Structure 1
């Protein structure tokens, strides 16, 4: 049911009549079934950058 190591939690049929379960996704994944990998951009700056004038 849940993908990428997500935890499947049975849904309360009275609170969520249209769903049988929901997923708690691990860090790095989102979506109804944890099917989407979050995208991250890591930007690093060199300390010794020479800026021209």
Structure 2
């Protein structure tokens, strides 16, 4: 058990790969959300919600 406790956690290389993957995913999501199709769909949804009868 003593050896297993020393292996707990991620190494620096694993942190670097995880950080890189998170940044890549964030970049892809940013591109998708700021695309013209998604932007216009969100604007239409918000406009429809604001003009809905009570």
Q: TM-score, normalised by structure 2?
A: 0.28
Identify the structure with the greater helix proportion.
2
Structure whose CA Rg is larger: 2
Q: TM-score, normalised by structure 1?
A: 0.28
Higher relative contact order (CA 8 A, sep 6+): 1
